[in-house]
Amino acid sequence: MSYFSEIYDGIRTLLTGMSVTGKYFLNSRKGAITQQYPDNRDTLQMFERFRGEVVMPHDENNEHSCTGCQKCELACPNGSIEIIWDRVIDETTGKKKKIIDQHIYHLGMCTQCGLCVDACPSDAIKWSQNFENSVYDRTQLTRVLNKPGSKVRAGVEE
């Protein structure tokens, strides 16, 4: 008698576990998230919270919001962000002012923790949706985020 009860219990627990799979199988057309990559590169939709790589958005006048405060550099636990800055004399006030020379991002060292983006007081850096970052040479994973000749947008204060 115990032999048949063990078979019954085995089948019952198998069907209980497979009920989740069966429900998804019957309702999979409603919201399947499987993407046919790379066939659908044009229509590929990433999630809003996806963390691809850090970028610094510039407007049409080649201006950005980074003041060079280095809070993102200090917040990064493994040194993925490096800010090289210089001091120049402001023509309007005659005082020395800090400007960024290069805002360097080392994608190969980044863990996508998001502490740098959260620490930025002026929202100068953001996460992009780019995920195709495979390269043969690691030096290609080092990016300069500020474009050449770019400057701080008017009205952005440190």
What is the percentage of the chain residues whose pLDDT exceeds 90?
51
Contacts of 13 (CB under 8 A, 6+ apart): none
pLDDT at 131 over 80: yes
- At 45-104, the pLDDT tens digits run 777 888 889 999 999 999 999 988 899 999 999 999 999 988 888 888 888 888 889 999
3-state DSSP assignment of residue 74: helix
CATH architecture group of domain 54-152: 2-Layer Sandwich (3.30)
3-state DSSP assignment of residue 83: strand
- pLDDT, position 118: 95
- pLDDT, position 30: 61
Beta strands in 42-95 (DSSP E): 54-55, 63-64, 81-89
Question: What's the pTM value of the predicted model, to 2 decimals?
Answer: 0.71
Range in 15-24, 27-36, 129-138 the model is least confident about: 27-36
- pLDDT, position 58: 93
